[in-house]
């Protein structure tokens, strides 16, 4: 085998410029394949990681919706949360609500922000940067965009209210709150002004008494199975949908069909291109070396060894293209991710291109198998050469 | 009495060129004995190379038989026939057919590597063989750096690699000038004197001159047999 | 005599999923308002809006006053659409509204369109980037094929030079062959693209229950693709042609 390997290598490097060009071709194909594999499930993985990071494994949302997809709400959420909390398998339940809130500071124009409401003392979707989280009524946590816009830091005051009322020339239902901290909001869109109030403050500001929540986040006990908990809660209350994290990703899957289809099509095309490149090169290489192949067979090189030699060449080209393609693919993925993550309204922490170890191995495996299959036809031609006929034709 | 290395009986070989059958060999009987220097002369297209290929187990007869070192070539599987060629037959081609990516020594090592000889032993033998053919100073040169005569010497060294019982050479001086051809002729003569059985197909009468047996071929048949 | 029930229209998918038919009465509540009955007087297909096509939310359309009452929103609205009288200055009207209406932003139609079409500009940038990668790959592929052809032709080319064939003829020989290859590839690519777009549209229209076109091979696009394909052929063909004529015949024969 090592002889076939060594011969395959020496034969390939005989024409280094041509080899490099073909490896470049396979590299482009491999890079596209790697990118498509990263894209196919990238957003789901990224979203799943983000949801997992909150530490809450189950989401309860109004029937037929996904979190914050519509203004639909679970009413009397305190009561619903308390009922869920009674279950010994549930460690914590956090209701969250959100709506547009206007924020203003003296001398500055009011800006529309997305206002979250969470129970005091909880902050499952915040990454605190400065100060502390919400601990009592009348406090607000703001994101860095808002902090920079109004030059605020913990301890400063902020005016919040509902939409501006043209009749009175001021924000409706306005009140002053104190900044307790500055944080990154995990699900906030890049460049958007975002703030969090206590749920009670947000309800009061909105003038609602029905204690609405856009979703309930549930942390299950250490020994409990999130799927089992979600399944049972689903059966208990038919007015809500209950999802464990993988289930919510699956429910959102329709939105991502485009990326999966695109990945499938482009990934398949790139494999096809890699296949054609390797087959073309090796077939031509065998044709060029026809006399040499016949002579080797005459000298006692077996068919199997001949086949192995050409097959090794296919593998080597695809392996080299794969290694270079992974590197190129990662660079291209960063560039493409930069484009796609500029989608308006997309949480800043999401990525479309995520490299998963198993998927990377799958892509590498596909490329190697493609290289091997692509080498089979020329290898078979080399192995089944009619020695006498080729030597005869050469002389003629 | 000398042992028989190869023999053909009532040998026929017909192959197709497009739709036309070509009767290349028409009922040849021939015996090659150990230490013979056999020259087969004849015009182009008379079937010399086909006969050589049949004797070496590269080609299989349409009718009749070839016994190579006691084995009927039609009865051997491709694998066994390939092994027999590797271990017992050396080939020298008109166009040398050295692997351009390998050095002279590596080309000579190739059949030994195929036969499973360990690297240090085959390297030493390759150097000895290159020394034997007068190329000890060209061991690490690639074919592209060698002259035609030198390439053919490397090919001869390669043919000797596995100590074959028979060397078959097909127009070994066909691509060489007269002086270089004469040098290769001398090398063959030395080989034969050292005990190697040789069958050479050639146009070159100077190569046939030292042969112990000379066959003339015309239209697929052996016309004369002479022992000078 | 009883008051007639307020009316609403239901979006098709909502009606189908909730098994509601025209003439049915549905009970709907706002956040802090009592449930009240509405009669379904019709259904409609969701507008073919790319920005909402993937959403699975339920939709209904009310009379404005009914919706305001349902939500307890008083006389509030999200936005006004303003139709100017002929000859009125749009910029002046926008400035006036901004000055008078506290908390309201007046926006020209194209600004609204630009803001709502940002998603599609991103998609467009993404597709252009993919096209760039594809063109690079195709160019490398074509170059590979031409290099192989070139190597195959070198000896022939050398012989032709020896018998007096001009460099110009040799160049045109290689160049035109490459161009023909690029042309055939482009034509096949266009046909595949057209078939592909039909399949894509059929699939996504079915998936999202919409009449939208997701992929379209327009005349301009076909011309652009043909231009890029042939331009690639011209560049690669020139390189290949030069490669063939620049080598000396004595050197070619050594290869």
Can you list the positions of beta strands (E) in chain C? Answer: 7-11, 25-28, 36-44, 60-62
**Percentage of the residues of chain A whose pLDDT score is greater than 70:** 98
C193 against A396, higher pLDDT: C193
What mean pLDDT is predicted for residues C224-235?
90
| Angstrom distances, CA of residue C22 to CA of A387, C12, C15, C26 | 81, 11, 9, 10
**Is B101 inside a domain boundary?**
yes
Any alpha helices (H) in C1-117, and if so which ranges?
A: 12-17, 64-71, 90-100, 109-116
**Shortest alpha-carbon distance between residue C179 and chain A (Å):** 19
Task: Give start-end residues of each CATH 2.40.40.20 domain in chain C.
Answer: 1-78
Q: Output the domain CATH number for residue B39.
A: 3.40.50.300
B touches which chains (3+ CB pairs under 8 A)? A
- Residue in C closest to A14 by C-alpha: C255
The residue behind tokens 């969470």 is A118
Q: What is the pLDDT of residue C252?
A: 47
| Residue B5 per-residue DSSP state | E
As a whole number, the mean pLDDT across chain B is: 90
Nearest to C32 among A21, A110, A209 (CB): A209
Q: What is the pLDDT of residue B28?
A: 93
Phi, psi (deg, nearest 5) at residue A279: -60, -45
CB spacing of A21 vs C31 below 8 angstroms: no
Q: Hey, how many other C-beta atoms are within 10 angstroms of the C-beta on A384? A: 12
What mean pLDDT is predicted for residues C152-172?
79
CB spacing of C31 vs A75 below 8 angstroms: yes
> Given a cut of 80, is residue C90 above it in pLDDT?
yes
> Given a cut of 50, is residue C38 above it in pLDDT?
yes
Q: What is the band of C47 on the pLDDT scale with cuts at 50, 70, 90? A: confident
What mean pLDDT is predicted for residues A146-154?
91
- Please check whether residue C91 touches A, CB under 8 A: no
The least confident of A189-193, A252-256, B119-123 is A252-256
CB spacing of A284 vs C152 below 8 angstroms: yes
As a whole number, the mean pLDDT across chain A is: 88
Q: What is the pLDDT of residue C250?
A: 46
The least confident of A102-106, C111-115, C178-182 is C111-115
C-beta of residue C145 within 8 angstroms of C-beta of residue A280:
yes
- Whole-number Å distance between alpha carbons of A128 and A136: 16
What mean pLDDT is predicted for residues A59-64?
88
**Is B39 inside a domain boundary?**
yes
Give bridge partners of residue B224 from the DSSP assignment: B216
pLDDT tens readout for residues A210-236: 999 999 999 999 888 999 999 988 888
CB spacing of B91 vs A291 below 8 angstroms: no
Q: Is residue B125 helix, strand or coil?
A: helix
Q: Which of C69, C250, A306 is nearest to B110 (CA)?
A: A306
Q: Is residue B46 helix, strand or coil?
A: coil
**Is B66 inside a domain boundary?**
no
The least confident of A174-178, A351-355, C241-245 is C241-245
> Given a cut of 60, is residue A1 above it in pLDDT?
no
A87 against C74, higher pLDDT: A87
**For B109, what's the count of Cα atoms within 13 Å in the CB-facing half-sphere?**
20
CATH class, range C1-78 = mainly beta
> Given a cut of 80, is residue C154 above it in pLDDT?
no
The residue behind tokens 């025209």 is C22
> Given a cut of 80, is residue C159 above it in pLDDT?
no
**Is B9 inside a domain boundary?**
no
Q: What ranges do the domains of chain A cover? A: 2-50+256-395, 64-238
Which residues of B lie inside 8 Å of A (Cβ-Cβ)?
A: 15, 45, 49-50, 53, 56, 58-59, 78-79, 82-83, 85-87, 89, 91, 93-95, 97, 99-102, 110-111, 113-115, 158, 162, 170-171, 174
Question: Domain range for residue B99?
Answer: 33-60+77-226
- Please check whether residue A129 touches C, CB under 8 A: no
Residue B166, H or E segment: strand B166-170
> Given a cut of 60, is residue C1 above it in pLDDT?
no
- Whole-number Å distance between alpha carbons of A313 and A27: 16
pLDDT tens readout for residues C8-34: 999 888 898 889 999 999 999 887 788
Q: What is the pLDDT of residue B226?
A: 53
Length of chain C: 255
**Shortest alpha-carbon distance between residue C89 and chain A (Å):** 23
**Is B163 inside a domain boundary?**
yes
Write the ipTM: 0.89
Q: What is the pLDDT of residue A190?
A: 78
Q: Give residues 305 to 344 of A whose Cβ lies within 8 Å of C.
A: 332, 335-336, 339-340, 342-344
Instruction: Give the residues of chain B that fall short of pLDDT 50.
Output: 228
**Is B3 inside a domain boundary?**
no
What is the domain count for chain B? Answer: 1
- Whole-number Å distance between alpha carbons of A362 and A147: 45
CB spacing of A254 vs C133 below 8 angstroms: no
């Amino acid at each position: 085998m090592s002889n076939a390997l060594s011969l395959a290598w020496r034969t390939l490097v005989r024409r280094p410029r041509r080899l490099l060009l073909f490896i470049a071709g396979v590299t482009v194909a491999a890079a596209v394949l790697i990118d498509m594999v990263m894209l196919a499930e990238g957003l789901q993985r990224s979203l799943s990681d983000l949801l997992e990071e909150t530490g809450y494994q189950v989401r309860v949302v109004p029937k037929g919706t996904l979190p914050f997809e519509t203004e639909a709400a679970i009413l009397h959420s305190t009561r619903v949360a308390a009922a869920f909390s009674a279950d010994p398998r549930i460690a914590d339940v956090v209701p969250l609500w959100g709506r547009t809130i206007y924020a203003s500071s003296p001398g500055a124009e009011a800006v529309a922000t997305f206002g979250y409401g969470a129970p005091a003392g909880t902050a499952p979707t915040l990454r605190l940067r400065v100060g502390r989280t919400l601990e009592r009524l009348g406090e607000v946590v703001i994101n860095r965009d808002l902090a920079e816009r109004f030059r605020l830091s913990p301890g400063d005051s902020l005016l919040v209210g509902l939409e501006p009322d043209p009749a009175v020339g001021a924000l409706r239902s306005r009140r002053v709150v104190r900044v307790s901290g500055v944080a990154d909001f995990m699900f906030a869109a890049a460049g958007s002004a975002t703030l969090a109030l206590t749920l009670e403050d947000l309800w009061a500001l909105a003038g609602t008494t029905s204690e609405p929540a856009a979703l309930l986040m549930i942390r299950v006990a250490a020994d409990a199975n999130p799927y089992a908990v979600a399944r049972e809660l689903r059966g208990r209350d038919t007015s809500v949908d209950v999802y464990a994290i993988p289930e919510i990703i699956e429910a959102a899957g329709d939105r991502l069909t485009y990326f999966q289809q695109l990945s499938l099509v482009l990934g398949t095309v790139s494999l096809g291109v890699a296949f054609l490149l390797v087959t073309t090169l090796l077939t031509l290489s065998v044709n060029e070396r026809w006399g040499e192949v016949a002579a080797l067979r005459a000298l006692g090189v077996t068919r199997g060894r001949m086949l192995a030699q050409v097959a090794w060449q296919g593998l080597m080209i695809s392996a080299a293209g794969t290694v270079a393609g992974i590197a190129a693919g990662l660079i291209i993925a960063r560039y493409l991710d930069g484009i796609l993550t500029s989608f308006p309204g997309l949480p800043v922490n999401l990525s479309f291109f995520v490299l998963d170890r198993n998927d990377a191995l799958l892509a590498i495996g596909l490329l190697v198998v493609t290289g091997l299959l692509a080498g089979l036809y020329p290898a078979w031609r080399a192995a089944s050469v009619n020695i006498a006929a080729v030597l005869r034709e050469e002389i003629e | 009495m000398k042992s028989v290395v190869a023999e053909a009986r009532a040998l026929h070989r017909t192959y197709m060129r497009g739709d036309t059958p070509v009767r290349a060999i028409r009922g040849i009987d021939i015996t090659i004995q150990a230490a013979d220097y056999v020259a087969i002369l004849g015009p182009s297209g008379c079937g010399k190379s086909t006969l050589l290929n049949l004797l070496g187990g590269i080609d299989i007869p349409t009718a009749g038989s070839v016994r190579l070192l006691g084995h009927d070539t039609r009865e051997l599987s491709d694998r066994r026939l390939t092994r027999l060629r590797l271990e017992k037959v050396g080939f020298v081609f008109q166009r040398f057919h050295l692997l351009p990516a390998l050095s002279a020594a590596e080309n000579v090592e190739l059949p030994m590597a195929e036969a499973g000889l360990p690297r240090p032993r085959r390297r030493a033998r390759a150097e000895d063989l290159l020394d034997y053919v007068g190329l000890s100073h060209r061991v690490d040169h690639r074919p592209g750096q060698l002259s035609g005569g030198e390439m053919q010497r490397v090919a001869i060294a390669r043919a000797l690699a596995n100590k074959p019982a028979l060397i078959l050479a097909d127009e070994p001086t066909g691509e060489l000038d007269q002086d270089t051809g004469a040098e290769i002729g001398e090398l063959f003569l030395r080989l034969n004197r050292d005990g190697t059985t040789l069958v050479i197909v050639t146009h070159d009468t100077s190569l046939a001159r030292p042969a112990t047996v000379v066959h003339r071929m015309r239209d697929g048949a052996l016309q004369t047999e002479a022992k000078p | 005599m009883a008051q007639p029930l307020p009316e609403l229209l239901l979006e098709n998918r909502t009606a189908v999923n909730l098994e509601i038919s025209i003439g049915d009465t549905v009970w709907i509540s706002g956040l802090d308002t009592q449930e009240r009955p509405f009669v379904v007087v019709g259904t409609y297909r969701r507008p073919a809006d790319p920005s909402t096509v993937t959403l699975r939310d339920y939709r209904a359309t009310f009379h404005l006053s009914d919706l305001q009452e349902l939500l307890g929103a008083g006389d509030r609205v999200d936005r006004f659409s303003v139709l100017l009288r002929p000859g009125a200055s749009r910029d002046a009207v926008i400035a006036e509204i901004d000055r008078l209406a506290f908390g309201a932003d007046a926006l020209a139609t194209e600004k609204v369109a630009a803001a709502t079409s940002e998603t599609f500009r991103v998609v467009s940038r993404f597709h252009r980037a993919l096209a760039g990668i594809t063109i690079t790959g195709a160019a490398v592929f074509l170059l590979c094929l031409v290099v192989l052809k070139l190597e195959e032709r070198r000896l022939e080319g050398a012989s032709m030079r020896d018998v007096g064939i001009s460099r110009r003829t040799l160049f045109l020989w290689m160049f035109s062959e490459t161009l023909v290859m690029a042309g055939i590839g482009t034509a096949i690519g266009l046909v595949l693209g057209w078939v592909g777009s039909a399949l894509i549209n059929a699939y996504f229209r079915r998936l999202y229950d919409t009449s939208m076109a997701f992929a379209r091979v327009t005349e301009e696009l076909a011309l652009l693709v043909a231009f890029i394909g042939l331009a690639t052929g011209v560049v690669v063909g020139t390189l290949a042609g030069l490669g063939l004529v620049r080598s000396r015949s004595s050197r070619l024969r050594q290869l």
